[in-house]
Amino acid sequence: MTTLSGFKAFTDNLPKQEQLMPVLFIGHGSPMNGIEDTEFSRRWTQMAKEIPTPQAVLVVSAHWFTKGTKITAMDFPETIHDFGGFPKELFAVQYPAPGNPALAKETASLIHSAHVELDHDWGLDHGTWTIIRHMYPEAKIPVLQLSIDFTKGPQYHYDLAREINALRKKGVLIIGSGNMVHNLRMVAWDKLNDPEYAYDWAAQMNDTFKNLIEEGNHKALINYTTLGREAMLAIPTPEHYLPLLYTLGLKEGKDSISFFNDKAVGGSLTMTSVKFG
């Protein structure tokens, strides 16, 4: 599947009901989830069994924040270890999934609100491979990343996502990888092993986000800075929250909504994840 026409010919022949892939927002949490057998990683493995096998995976990761919008377009993206202070076993992990340059070009062609640069330098960062290696351990399904333009506001990202909705009909699994509540400065490190320990503001905002998602109140979620002090504590910087807006932009009216891994970690982080469709 190395040419754009080949990819289109293959996906156009898929029955329509089988083409519409669900969309996932996944709270990825610590990079250690990439190598540890945790309740979170086990749920990622199970999720892959519950949804149709994708033709490709496109991830919007909190850890690829760029000026302008980019998409990985190489045949074999490298595994990026974009963190420090973790065991050597984590740095040794390689996830050798192929890319799909033709799909990268097609995705870029769908986006008219911005020029999308075909990138050959990035790869798969830990917002992607720590999740995907549990979902698809054989690393045979093509995996691409779409970057987040840090110069743009929340509405821009939501609207851009709507432009790539057609990929759902071509068997592409689109994943937003971040965390709804993500305040590393306030992590209670002594409470990491306390099940579901959360500060009051973190629990409150996690519930607020879930309620707004269920209500379909995307406007409030886009304008999260108006949700009060608790929202600012939950989202002190936007990079882990914006992937959620991409998944909301991809949601269609008939899509069902379900939550999983709905737990807090260390007081100021939540792993809460959402499946649309």
Cite the DSSP H helix spans in the chain.
4-12, 16-19, 39-50, 88-91, 101-110, 126-135, 154-163, 200-215, 218-222, 229-234, 242-250
Token pair recorded at residue 163: 């432009």
pLDDT, residue 1, reads 44
Nearest to 119 by CA among 145, 149, 152: 145
Q: Is the pLDDT of residue 84 over 90?
A: no
**Confidence category of residue 8, pLDDT binned at 50, 70, 90:** low
pLDDT at 28: 92
Which pLDDT band holds residue 32 (cuts at 50, 70, 90)?
confident
Task: State yes or no: pLDDT of 7 exceeds 60.
Answer: no
Looking at residue 5, what is its pLDDT? 53
Determine the pLDDT at residue 223: 96
Instruction: Give the Cα separation of 54 and 10 in Å (integer).
Output: 13
Confidence band, pLDDT 50/70/90 cuts, at residue 16 = very low
What is the average per-residue pLDDT within 36-44? 94
Crossing angle of helices 4-12 and 101-110, rounded to 10°: 80
pTM of the predicted protein model: 0.91
User: How much is the average pLDDT of 258-270?
Assistant: 94
What is the average per-residue pLDDT within 15-43?
84
Copy the structure tokens of residue 179.
């965390």
Q: How confident is the model at residue 15 (pLDDT cuts 50, 70, 90)?
A: very low
Cβ–Cβ contacts within 10 Å for residue 86, how many? 15
Number of CB atoms found within 10 A of residue 218's CB: 16
CB–CB of 248/221 below 8 Å? yes
The pLDDT of 167-192, averaged and rounded, is 92
| Structure confidence by residue, pLDDT tens digits, 198-248 | 899 999 999 999 999 999 999 999 999 999 999 999 999 999 999 999 999
Q: What is the number of residues in the chain?
A: 277
Give the model's pLDDT for residue 90.
84
Q: Residue 270 in contact with residue 196, Cβ under 8 Å?
A: no
Instruction: Give per-residue pLDDT as tens, 153-173.
Output: 999 999 999 999 999 999 999
Whether the CB-CB separation of 199 and 186 falls below 8 Å is answered with yes
6 — pLDDT class (breaks 50, 70, 90): low
pLDDT of residue 19: 61
The token pair that represents 186 in the structure block: 């306030």
Instruction: Using a pLDDT cut of 90, give the percent of the chain over it.
Output: 79
- Backbone φ and ψ for 153, nearest 5 degrees, come out as -85, 175
Mean pLDDT of 53-60: 97
Checking if the pLDDT of 251 tops 60, the result is: yes
CA 38 – CA 41 distance, rounded (Å)? 5
Summarised one tens digit per residue, pLDDT across range 123-147 is: 999 999 999 999 999 999 999 999 9
- Rounded to whole angstroms, how far apart are CA atoms 200 and 271? 16
Q: What is the reported pLDDT for 30?
A: 85
pLDDT value at 85 more than 90: no
Mean pLDDT, the chain, whole residue set: 91
pLDDT surpassing 60 at residue 2: no
